[in-house]
Chains A and B, each alone.
Chain A
Amino acid sequence: MKIAVLIKQTPDTAELPKISAADASGGQVQATMVINPWDEFAAEEAIDLCDRFDGDSVAISFGPADAADALKHALAMGVNEAVLIENDADSSDSGDDWTTAALLAAAIKAQGEVDIVLTGKQSVDGNSGSVFVGVARKLGHPLLVNVLKITDVADGVITVQRGIDGGEETVSAPLPVVISVAKEINDPRYPSFMGIRKANREQIPTLSPSELGVDMNSAQTAWTNIRKPAERHTEVKIIEGASVPEKAAKLAEALIAEKVI
């Protein structure tokens, strides 16, 4: 069985609050870059599935040259191979979600027969949660999102538990499939010291948009007026009282007067 796991390099979540509007506009953020935290769950699941069903895994990313570090994290965790789709140096246009989806789909096809494509639920920077949907549509594969558990893979059919709004479902689909995993699916391992050393020595092969035959100037949307959300200043009214019940009574009165209850 062959498994592809899609990886994005993103700012460290601890540093997201300090991202400036200029950072976001230029696409060059002043932050520590790491593997997108949601993608660690996908990488862990890829490794686990390879153990369970005797397979090989490949991590694929689209990004600048230093996105290779995010792929090395996946390798250090135990993913077998990695490929970086590096934007052509002379192209300043990085496209939209469908451009990224076309690149990833083409890179997946270039791996030969891939049975399962795994992804995280969204990136912590773009927050679109749409690229893997596009990958599934471009490959023509069924898509199963928010997967809590991969129950079985047998006779070319995968069975999963997925979270839905207000409940859970057991769903099956024929391979090949695209799957986005939920946080509940596993606990991503920390790369071992040996794993990190080995991954750091790897030369990660690259593919370019032109090699993959994808037009980078195909974006159907543009981001404009990029800004920080307005800071909200509130003047807190501390409820005073001689006893806890007295404070509770005063607060209840205030909330009813505010018409929020």
Chain B
Amino acid sequence: MSVLVWIEQSGGSAVASCWEVLGKGRQLADELGSPLVALLMGDDVAAGADAAQKRGADLVLTASSPTLSNYRLSAYADVLTAAIREANATVVLTSATLRGRELSAAVACDLSAGLAPDAVDLRIEAGKLVAVRSVYSGNILADITFKSDIQVASVRPRSFPLPEEGAAAGEIKALDVAMDEAAVPEKVLESKSAGGGEIALTDAERIVSGGRGVAQDPELGFKLVADLARVLGAAVGASRAAVDAGYIPYKHQVGQTGKTVSPNLYIAAGISGAIQHLAGMGSSKLIVAINKDAEAPIFGRAHYGIVGDLFEVLPALTEEFQKRLG
């Protein structure tokens, strides 16, 4: 028996939310009295394998091949299945990134194993995994229990703290899997990153979001949002109203039909606070509302508020933080 965690690599380095999952995996493995195993796949896995040891893995399985340099489901699913067999894993975890969700589902289906996608909490009860899922777009919580021996879950980023790095212990073992490029049907012809050091919403510790309040000058409004975000090292978010009005692309949308986020700090500028928006950011640790309308529902969920025009308040905040943070 073991707990196996896939450490996803992107652009040659490990995806940070996978360490959160490994940290939780350590706790589950200790409760089960079984080893914690990390799996790394790619064309260069040495640095990731080293980091996985330092973050608590008892055993690191690696699969290194040019065929694995780009993520492709067919190839990655074969390796993960081989790793589950090698480690005799009964709990299999990934981060709920796009790839993590797809890969965990594919392998769970292949093995007729139960799956808890995008879980927000995990625990052990009577030797079995119990996963908490947020369903109905953030409006209902459910505990997922498993009948199958192999129990698979993908874990929503920022559900668990990042584990500290310690001294490396345990062993690293290369998996014996033959990769055949000709057997992988998907071919990646071109790959481009969004660039500009853009912080992903779901990973962000801080988020500054804009809403309908930018309407009088949407371009300037979202520039002011982005300016403050840059000074704070924050990601840029938006309400559905702002996305539907075409002020900013959909990938920035936070809420029931957009991304679910839980940063330490969420600054909502010109967002009224519709229940659908709250469903996507209500678990943020500290919420700040900036709105002209003192009666806006967002103030009912915020910890701090400024009643005022975002076109005046945001530049003042940016200037203030520039002064203080240098």
Binding site for B on A (CB under 8 A): 11, 13-14, 16-17, 19, 21, 24, 37, 96-98, 101, 124-130, 133-134, 136-138, 142-146, 159, 163-174, 183-184, 218-229, 232, 234-239, 244-245, 247-249, 251-252, 254-256, 258, 260-261
Report whether B320 and A252 are in contact in the complex, using a CB–CB cutoff of 8 Å: yes
Interface of A is mostly: mixed
Which of B27-35, B41-49, B297-305 is the contact stretch? B297-305
> Residue on A with the closest CB to B313?
A244
Q: B250 — which chain A residues lie within 8 A by C-beta?
A: 183-184
Q: In whole angstroms, how far apart are the Cα atoms of A168 and B194 in the complex? A: 7
> Residue on A with the closest CB to B72?
A171
CB of B237 within 8 Å of the partner chain: no
Which of B104-112, B172-180, B216-224 is the contact stretch? B104-112
Report whether B189 and A170 are in contact in the complex, using a CB–CB cutoff of 8 Å: yes
The smallest C-beta distance from A255 to any residue of chain B, in angstroms, reads 7
Produce 1/0 per residue, B241-281, CB < 8 A to A.
Answer: 00000000111000011000000110000000001100100
> Residue on B with the closest CB to A175?
B185
Report whether A232 and B137 are in contact in the complex, using a CB–CB cutoff of 8 Å: no
Report whether B303 and A237 are in contact in the complex, using a CB–CB cutoff of 8 Å: yes
Report whether B146 and A221 are in contact in the complex, using a CB–CB cutoff of 8 Å: yes
> Which of A163, A224, A252 sits near B142, CB closer than 8 Å?
A224
Report whether A133 and B118 are in contact in the complex, using a CB–CB cutoff of 8 Å: no
The smallest C-beta distance from A162 to any residue of chain B, in angstroms, reads 9
Which of B54-62, B83-91, B93-101, B161-169 is the contact stretch? B93-101
Q: In whole angstroms, how far apart are the Cα atoms of A226 and B133 in the complex? A: 10
Report whether B304 and A254 are in contact in the complex, using a CB–CB cutoff of 8 Å: yes
CB of B68 within 8 Å of the partner chain: no
> Which of A125, A133, A165 sits near B105, CB closer than 8 Å?
A133
Among A138, A167, A221, chain B packs the most CB atoms within 10 A around the CB of A221
Report whether A130 and B117 are in contact in the complex, using a CB–CB cutoff of 8 Å: yes
Report whether B110 and A16 are in contact in the complex, using a CB–CB cutoff of 8 Å: no
Among B15, B118, B186, B300, chain A packs the most CB atoms within 10 A around the CB of B186
Report whether B288 and A127 are in contact in the complex, using a CB–CB cutoff of 8 Å: no
> Which of B142, B285, B305 sits near A225, CB closer than 8 Å?
B142
Report whether A221 and B109 are in contact in the complex, using a CB–CB cutoff of 8 Å: no
> Residue on A with the closest CB to B260?
A127
> Which of A167, A229, A238, A261 sits near B325, CB closer than 8 Å?
A261
Q: A129 — which chain B residues lie within 8 A by C-beta?
A: 101, 105, 117-118
> Which of B73, B74, B113, B304 sits near A255, CB closer than 8 Å?
B304
Q: B82 — which chain A residues lie within 8 A by C-beta?
A: none
Known: A96-B114, A133-B105, A165-B97. A172 touches B139 (CB 8 A): no
> Which of B11, B114, B305, B316 sits near A221, CB closer than 8 Å?
B114
Q: Which of B302-317 contact A (CB under 8 A)?
A: 302-308, 312-313, 316-317
Report whether A172 and B189 are in contact in the complex, using a CB–CB cutoff of 8 Å: yes
> Which of B112, B186, B282, B286 sits near A98, CB closer than 8 Å?
B112
Q: In whole angstroms, how far apart are the Cα atoms of A219 and B146 in the complex? A: 9
Known: A228-B141, A261-B321, A261-B325. A24 touches B102 (CB 8 A): no
Report whether A220 and B304 are in contact in the complex, using a CB–CB cutoff of 8 Å: no
Known: A16-B139, A236-B299, A247-B308. A166 touches B146 (CB 8 A): no
The smallest C-beta distance from A195 to any residue of chain B, in angstroms, reads 24
> Which of B115, B116, B148, B304 sits near A237, CB closer than 8 Å?
B304
Report whether B317 and A229 are in contact in the complex, using a CB–CB cutoff of 8 Å: no
